[in-house]
Structure 1
Amino acid sequence: RTDGVSNPCWVCHTAGLGPNTRDDVELQASYGFSEAAQVNHWTNLFVDRGPFIAATPDAEILAWVRQDDYGPLRAALAAQPGYRGWVPDLDLDRGFDDDGFARDGSGWRAVRYQPFPGAFWPGGGSTDDVFVRLPDAFQRGADGVPSRDVYRLNLALVEAAIAGVDDPATLALDREVEPIDERLLGVDLDGDGEVRAATDRIRRLPPRYAGAAAAVKVEALVLPLGTELMHSVRYLDPDEPGLRARRMKELRYMRKVEAPDAWARLRAYEHEADEKDEGRLPRYRGDALEGLVNAFGWRLQGFIEDADGRLRLQTDEEHRFCMGCHQNLGVTVDSTFALARKVPGRDGWRPQDLRGLRDRPQVGHVDGEVLTYFRRVGGGDETRSNDELIARYVRRAATAGTPPELDDVALRRAGPGGELDLVGLLAPSRARALALDKAYLAVVREQSFVRGRDAVLAPATRVQRRVDDASTGLAAAGRVYRDGRSHLRWDPAVSR
């Protein structure tokens, strides 16, 4: 519920860039639900988890979040005859080398990135990490021999193509990357007039990728066919420096299985609009056993805990939770989030770690993303339920015609020249972290994910149970924004 003053919608619903021609800014001004969605089915938001939280000892929840549920999942799937879906082949226990490559030789590489505002800040109850893998041809030289240098070059080209937008109006490109060898491609990538053995900037995209992938075109804001992404959503461990627990709440996987052309993308947007106008729920190809395929060629499959804490395949209905965000949002880049927010260069090729990350402006913005979020939302999450962050940074809540009064000085402490990082700025207290873990465990025990999987400490009071009035009140208040972006300004002067 926006109350006409709080706009968390701007971070997702915005004008798309490049091939993403989706412009869903109107969803900031109007709830715009189809008839099927006018009643809020996320009823877990209104459940009082207080008794369960109080009855669960801290030692019990700490023991829970420190257990490994990923290894047992891999073993169970490998032993399952006839299973048609994705089997995770990344050995997390073997870890990653200094360049972020998996030591198991699987080709997976760890990505360090700025967490998506609001929903993926740790105060909401979760941490996460992301890994990427390009197809085998991208990992080999023109002679077909595996080549780490070629793979690094191709990953740098992907980074520049997806994350390198420096100006949303022109899509100008200027991206810091890890040191790469231009000679492997024969193209002057940094625009200095030479093809050199080492450069750490890409200012122009070549027509094609390197090595055995030389037949594949490089497209701005488009990932190559066969790209894989693995995303784990985890509990909080307040005793870990980066807050990430060993136990996974969910394991999510995406693989690009089709490469739709511009016409197919436009038709997908039209089809989604037709479904909404007709009051129908979206339909997707595929099933839970193999994953659902969105309109832009991505197959998504996910695992979630069963009541005993084992990761299990999500049901068809549970899979749809993922499809909404990874199909028709203006803010996504080729249906994805994390790669566009990658830390530039070598420092962005290692396991996710919020420590040392600063509050940075989105491209086209002046102030940091966290500060901007608080100004537009009046809190640290979509429903303004995080009382800790409100107490830290909100002096007076917004009212009709009056923006919130914030402690700007405190919010800027993780910006340029400040003494904090995102952990120091946004981390929950130990008590809140454990309470959020317990609240989510209650949902796990119930297996009630179809009613919502947010960790809520008390029944939500700023959430609609039913939408009868289409207007959010934000347009009349002048609080609709067209400038939400995944891309960030990585100014060299700001430490990361």
Structure 2
Amino acid sequence: MPAVSKGFVRGAFIGLLALGCVLSAVGVWRARQRPAPEVLEPPFDPLAQALASGSRVLNREAPIPSMCYTKTEGASNPCWTCHTGGVGDNVMGDEALQTEYAFSDVGQTNQWTNLFTDRSAALSRISDDEVLEYIRQDNYTPLRAALLGRPGGFKGWVPDLDLSRGFDDDGFARDGSGWRAVRYKPFLGTFWPTNGSTDDVFIRLPAAFQQDAEGRPSREMYRLNLAILEAAMTVDPALRDVTQAVRRVEPVDERVGGVDLDGDAVLEPSVEEVRGLPARYVGGAAQVAVRQHFYPRGTEFLHTVRYVDPDAPTLLSARMKEVRYSRKDEEHEGLRVRGFYAEEAEKKLQGRLPVFPGNPELGLVNEFGWRLQGFIEDARGRLRVQTMEEHAFCMGCHTNLGVTVDQTFGFPRKVPGREGWRHQDLRGLPDVPQAGHAKPEVLTYFERVKGGDEFRANDELLSRFFPHGTLDETSVRRAAQGGDRDLAWLVTPSRERALALDRAYLALVREQGFTKGRDTLLAPPKNVLARVENGSTGLEDAGLIFEDGRLHLTWE
């Protein structure tokens, strides 16, 4: 074999090395042209955060809302709106809480520390465009899909109202779910758009109330039963003879249910008044007794809390801060209900802390038979199941307040008749008085609180209606019956304030510190106590105790 020169070997080696470099470069180039393998996120589990939190409840007095820590200074009384004399079958009679601070040892320390946090730096980093884009995204529809697609399922309530399909002209959900929109006058203070949130309410009665006597679906029968319920829940509690009660309702056909609602001894095709109360509901629910100020077993409410969209006619944002669901699982007799109130009073005297059975997946249950379940935003704005402690926050206002009607707020404040059966809209609503009051409700609130919210921290309302520190009653009365303005004009924030409030809550969402409070505030309020010394509020000495707080309204 001929000898191979060293030069030839060296050249061949260099050639192979060069070829290898070329091939390597080509491989790198080709790799760069191929898309990187997609990294898939695990499916979102709305229950995960609640499960991770377990049964932990650090704030044993979470049911006490932040507003109860307001500084009254012997001059401002926002307490009357919730704590009042006995209202009908609600014999709580907790007006004494206006007179003195009476907290448990745990409750004396205000654990809603978000009240004292300055978030101005965080707010400045969120632009108007960013927050508007955020609040106009739908986070409700994905919640249902996430719960239904959860491995192992979800045992609690899964949202079954398709909001994207909307409501017909009578307020019934077009999806056939049986939900119906309720238009109502929002509760005072915190629930006004000017203080940071909008909300809406939907009601659904059990299937029997939606059927005729043969079990067939009947829209007219459902209307009749809802009209009867409306009359039962809105009777003025001061009226001793319920046969004298009169409630305007939507036009209903008495002949369908064989019930004389207006008391004229004639069954008519269209009546718009309920006089007194019938003994029972009609159709498939004909065996269910009508009880004044009590919902029948199986009644459901859906309550969504939303951002303030300054460009939406109703101010309701697409994005939801919270989705709240409640169902009346048990219906107790009157004596038993009164016993629950007496037991609650005894617990307070003994300083016992509240305990509610249940868990985040199924919701918590109060003594009165109501099951409550809540969903709230996670750090990315997705609705998730509330933790045990976050659920406990909801229970205080829906268990033992003197002002509630069967533990609820919204429905007894429904707009009468057909106009009350549509999606929430404050436009065109007058500022009517509470039952038994002479002055419009918002005007009364301003007078007694001396501000537009519990902490007197709403500077915009103070500048509008309290010039030089004095309430301008004439201006506020423009929204009353017969005035040239409406409730929306009274409680709608300016665009600038609305966006600032939206940014403030978005900053809170990103922190995920709801166990420290979920108030929407632009700055730490001055009129709030970090710690309470039990004793006099100073309001009794000033003659500012009011036992006349009511949910019921005088519409006509």
Superposition pairs of residues 215-254 of structure 1, within 5 angstroms? 215-254=287-326
SS of 1:483's partner is coil
Structure 1 portions without partners, runs of 5+: 398-404, 492-496
Q: Secondary structure at the match of 2:524?
A: coil
TM-score in terms of structure 2 length: 0.85
Give 1:234's aligned amino acid: R
Conservation of the 8 A alpha-carbon contact between 1:16 and 1:332: no
Aligned to 1:108: 179
1:436-486 alpha-carbon deviations (Å, 9 max, x no partner) = 111111111111111110011111110011111421110110000011110
Equivalent residue letter for 2:514: F
Which of 395, 399, 414 is matched with 1:342 structurally? 414
Matched with 1:446 is 511
Counterpart Cα distance in 2 of 1:217 and 1:423 = 38
> Per-residue deviation at 1:420?
1.3
Shift of 1:169: 5.4
Structure 2: distance between partners of 1:331 and 1:275? 19
1:129-177 per-residue CA deviation (whole Å, 9 max, x = no partner) reads: 0000000000000011100000000000110000232745555521000
How far residue 267 of structure 1 moved from its aligned partner, in angstroms, is 2.6
Aligned residue in 1 for 2:500: 435
Write the distance in 2 (CA, Å) between the matches of 1:281 and 1:152.
42
Change (3 A) 1:258 1:166: closer
- Secondary structure at the counterpart of residue 352 of structure 1: coil
Kept in 1: contact 2:83–2:401 (CA 8 A): yes
2:156 to 85, 93, 96: 85
Select between 371-380 and 419-428 the one with higher mean Cα deviation: 419-428
Q: Tell me which amino acid in the other structure corresponds to 1:377.
A: V
Residue 74 (str. 1) matches residue 139 (str. 2): no
Residue 288 of structure 1 aligns to which amino acid in structure 2?
P
1:292 to 2:357 alignment? no
Q: Post-superposition, which runs of at least 4 consecutive aligned residues in structure 1 deviate over 6 A? A: none
Cross-structure match for 2:8: none
Indicate the larger mover: 46-55 or 107-116: 46-55
Q: 2-side partners of 1:121 and 1:3: how far apart? A: 24
The alignment partner of 1:37 has SS state of coil
Alignment pair present for 1:163 and 2:234: yes
Q: Which amino acid aligns with 2:78?
A: P
The residue that corresponds to 2:286 in the other structure is 214
Distance in structure 2 (CA, Å) of the matches to 1:16 and 1:75: 44
What is the distance in 2 between the residues matched to 1:372 and 1:470? 26
Residue 483 in structure 1 maps to residue 555 in structure 2: no
Residue 280 of structure 1: which of 345, 352, 357 is its match? 352
Corresponding residue for residue 15 of structure 1: 85
Q: Could you tell me how far apart the structure 2 residues matched to 1:276 and 1:127 are?
A: 33
What residue number does 1:269 align with? 341
Query: By how many angstroms is 1:193 displaced?
Result: 3.1
* Cα distance between partner residues in 1 of 2:201 and 2:138: 17
Question: Are residues 1:177 and 2:242 paired?
Answer: no
Aligned AA (2:232): A
Where structure 2 has 5 or more consecutive residues not aligned to the other structure, the ranges are 1-70
Return the match for 2:125 from 36, 39, 55.
Answer: 55
TM-score (norm 1): 0.95
- Find the counterpart in structure 1 of residue 446 from structure 2: 374
Paired with 2:354 and 2:344, the residues of 1 have a C-alpha distance of 7
Distance between the aligned counterparts of 2:197 and 2:182, measured in 1?
17
The answer to whether the 8 A contact 1:166-1:174 is kept is no
Contact 1:34–1:277 under 8 Å retained in 2 = no
Alpha-carbon distance in 1 for matches of 2:277, 2:478: 36
Task: After TM superposition, give the deviation of residue 396 of structure 1 in Å.
Answer: 4.6
Which of 331, 334, 349 aligns to 2:403? It is 331
1:118 Cα offset (Å)? 0.7
**Greater alpha carbon shift after TM alignment, 78-87 vs 134-143:** 78-87
CA distance, structure 2, for counterparts of residue 461 and residue 179 of structure 1: 50
Is the alpha carbon distance of 1:183 and 1:201 closer, same or farther for their aligned partners in structure 2, counting shifts above 3 Å? same
> Which amino acid is 1:67 matched to?
Q
1:133 aligns with 2:204: yes
The one-letter code matched in structure 1 to 2:480 is G
Residue 38 of structure 1 aligns to a residue in which SS? coil
Question: Is the Cα–Cα contact under 8 Å of residues 111 and 516 in structure 2 kept in the other structure?
Answer: yes
**Any idea what the Cα deviations from partners look like across 1:364-385, whole Å, max 9, x if unmatched?**
0111001000000001100000
Q: Distance in 2 between matches of 1:336 and 1:68?
A: 27
1:221 CA displacement: 0.3
- Aligned letter for 1:74? R
Secondary structure of the corresponding residue to residue 119 of structure 1: helix
Q: 1:436 is matched by which residue type in structure 2? A: L
CA distance in 1, matches of 2:155, 2:458: 41
1:27 correspondence with 2:92: no
Q: How much does 1:76 deviate?
A: 0.5
Which residue of 2 is the match for residue 64 of structure 1?
A: 134
Which of 390, 405, 430 aligns to 1:318? It is: 390
Moved more, 197-206 or 245-254: 197-206
- Is 1:259 matched up with 2:331? yes
Counterparts of 2:353 and 2:525 in 1: how far apart (Å)? 25
Q: Distance in 2 between matches of 1:26 and 1:86?
A: 37
Report the equivalent of 2:533: 468
In structure 2, the residue matched to 1:402 is: none
Larger radius of gyration: 2
Task: State the match for 2:112 in structure 1.
Answer: 42
- Offset of residue 416 of structure 1: 2.0
- Whether the 8 Å contact between 2:239 and 2:245 is mirrored in structure 1 is no
Residue 535 of structure 2 aligns to a residue whose secondary structure is: coil
Query: How many residues are paired up?
Result: 484
Q: Secondary structure at the match of 1:304?
A: strand
Name the residue aligned to 1:147: 218
CA distance in 1, matches of 2:80, 2:286: 39
1:165 is paired with a residue whose SS is coil
Distance 2:88 2:346 in 1: 23
Instruction: Tell me how large the CA RMSD over aligned residues is.
Output: 1.3
C-alpha deviation, 1:85, in angstroms: 0.5
